[in-house]
Chains A and B, each alone.
Chain A
């Protein structure tokens, strides 16, 4: 009885198990923790795609190695004491080999194509969604789709400036959304990239984008006008080619639209002055300090930026406490920051000067020091020669390092002994970079004397009667130089401590500014555009000088001094305008651009566009890599015409499934 019961039970179990096993839905997949590409064909997916385009701005803007590729090798920066091959190779001075495997030149290339494809997908899929959802709430407004046009043009504009002609077909056709695993590529020519993509996309954007932002920092009609003006200007230079710089892939310097360089210079002028006259919600800030001070981020002058936040680690995209030194972190500012916490003061003025009086703190003047890049001496003696009237020197650099040791909580002394055995209190200057060299500076013995670091430990000098250490401009070296205040961190959660100095900056990284419109119009005017007077808030005669003087007048206005760490109200506008030369030429515009946009990643584009790179940045001067090395070295760069185009990154060449000949033809000449 019992065994019979067990048998039948077992039999039932076996039969049911067999059928359970037979169900074939165990071979069907249904992912539940991520989206498949199909989601990209819904309204929510497309909205997400547009957000991704903004998020991807962070992969370049604030990414220090990309920043390095835009600055090192120009008159604004060379490699610093802690530089590795990523930086020495970009200096074109033979410090390291520069070739297609040099990693910084690959960052732009490896970042933007996926972005371009996302934009392609948005533009393509939005049409499909709108066709199928016609008349419902699930359609996508054209202005939103056009944000993708803007981003695609922005990416192609970067590419065409760095590499020459680039592919418009990613594998599924010209400007088509690619879902094919394509392992071949064909490059278009420079005029094709401009006339088939950049100009049409930006014209669509100018016509369709709203004049007010959808969210904080989203693009508008005016942003598109600014970028289009910049693209016209750049293309006009390319058509004109005054210094006979080669292009690639080879093509005639004729415009498929049948226009000439002068026409494009005029378009650039017209568009820029139009926005200056009709700025919408954008405006110049009252002072230069206001443009860059962290408490005033996302101001009306900032037209496009890669945003960050200290309020949410998740949406910041990177840790709020310790930087990853990789995108999407904003860590560009670390590169041009010297190792200021090395400065030492003394507790009692005795023999030992071992107390760090300037701690690493997440404030705009300090931040994390990586010493990978350094400004050549010419930045201080030429570009920023005027340090008194022009507030931009003070609004760009940290020139005075102030005592902050109590923030560390370990040194409890209320005062320390600093230079000349003099006492300093928290907030007092500990080390100052002077405006000019002064014969009364007493430096410690020069390197390689073992005493070269001196009491300051950084080889700084002293001046009679001053409690702070001092460094003259001619002593600026690869290891000690004014920090880049502009890009320094700003946080409101430091409390009474040092905050999070090792985190990436939680500030937005600037990309496009309202002020650039004045430079674009002025440059176009210098290149022969017919000028007309500009009305509105920024009324001027529309000449290069008139436009530039708006910027220079603003630069003369002070409301705060970083060096003094105090409110300083002054208006030196008149002196600034008076100092403007009667005739503005390209070199003056370039110098003025450097004063306005120093260390923001503009420089390599400016020098290549104007074909002045080798002239402006061919040599530079700086002292060596040791504290106390005050021997000014003149370094010569070898910038060949072929260098005006970056090599196509080796990873692209390696990744393509093409013959060696085809691959060689894909590469830019000279590499």
Chain B
């Protein structure tokens, strides 16, 4: 599975990492749903760190599309909320 961290790199992760990735993402989602910013940046950093530490960087000369694209590391709490409500980071 290939995961992109927007603004950084693409990482190749073992398929077995998907479960943990899901857990970490759900943790972020729960915080965003809760509406309180407490713990958001730590939880999001944990998700990205997991990808960076478990994945192998896809070389610049390799052309692959990602299975999952994660928003950039400087994602704010407000932006995360917009991602969920469908406004999104990327304008049409």
The answer to whether A and B assemble together is no
Query: What residues of chain B have their CB less than 8 Å away from a CB belonging to chain A?
Result: none
